Amino acid sequence: MNNLWGIYTIWYRDLLRFWRDKARMVTSLAFPLLFLVVFGSGLSGSMGMLAPGVNFSKFIFPGIIGMTVLITSFMSGVSVVWDREFGFLKEVLVAPISRVAVAAGKTLGGATIALIQGTLILVFAPLFGVTFPLKILPQLLPVMFLVACALSAMGIFLGSRIKSMEAHQAVMQLLMFPMIFLSGVFFPVNNLPLWMNVLVKINPVTYGVDSIRQLVLGAEPAAALGITIFGHTMSIAEDLMIVAAFGVLMVVLAMWSFGSQE
């Protein structure tokens, strides 16, 4: 019972910090909207139709949702570094709860915030000419949450191994932007050079973005722009299996890392 209460407390604390930080809320929402305006609306006319009924604005919208989830989830690790520098992490680690519970609470907190941010982007879909049936939301939100949990666990694991804010910013930029650009957010992942095709396929974010795109655009239009492995086009279920496997690995590493903290 103590561990469950500890998970809830850590989760609630991260959400409360997010809610009180209005500047963070506004900027984290403005950043993806800027990409939608500049790349989506600005380049849609010159890019033409990428698939039947799918222009560049419609193509990039699900990718921006995935990018928002990635950035917010990934940056959840900064709270661990921040708590370490101000001594709060030491107090948490000596509390009468399992360190596994600490990692779980941090991961769920980051994933929930990422889900909120990604959901807010959906509200702006009509402004960019993107329409989708509301009946997909019961499927889309769990998919976004699964992707957020996997990436939050990765962020928490990295944050638990990094000792300073400066180092954390450098590592996050080194990892985050390549993962974004090599995930199919801004361009279709078919017909790529061999070296880039390999990097795209080993990037777990690629499968999260593809599953979100299939749900928002529909399976048939998205299939022409989706991931193919040895000639097989990945389905939503197959994408999510890869994301889930990656998430389990990251959760195990995050729990191990917290368990080894001094």
What digits encode the pLDDT tens for the residues 42-71? 655 555 566 666 777 788 888 888 888 888
Task: Give the C-alpha separation, 106 to 102, whole Å.
Answer: 6
**In this structure, what is the dihedral angle of CA atoms 192, 193, 197, 198, given to the nearest 10 degrees?**
180
Q: Give the pLDDT band (50/70/90) at residue 35.
A: confident
What digits encode the pLDDT tens for the residues 176-221? 888 888 888 888 777 778 888 888 889 898 899 888 888 888 766 6
Q: Which residues pair with 54 in a beta bridge?
A: 51
pTM over 0.85: yes
CA neighbor of 253 nearest in space, from 109, 149, 156: 156
Q: Is 51 helix (H, G, I), strand (E, B) or coil?
A: strand
- CA–CA distances in Å: residue 37 to residues 34, 56, 61, 181: 5, 12, 10, 18
Find tokens 């779980």 and name the residue: 104
Q: CA 220, 245, 152: angle at the middle one, nearest 5?
A: 95
Q: Is 225 helix (H, G, I), strand (E, B) or coil?
A: coil
What digits encode the pLDDT tens for the residues 72-89? 887 777 777 777 776 666
Q: Give the pLDDT band (50/70/90) at residue 230.
A: confident
What digits encode the pLDDT tens for the residues 152-177? 988 888 888 877 777 777 888 888 88
For the chain, the first-to-last Cα distance in angstroms comes to 24
Find tokens 């990097």 and name the residue: 199
Residue type at position 165: M
Structure tokens at 34: 């800027």
Q: Give the pLDDT band (50/70/90) at residue 14.
A: confident
β-strands 228-229, 232-233 pairing: antiparallel
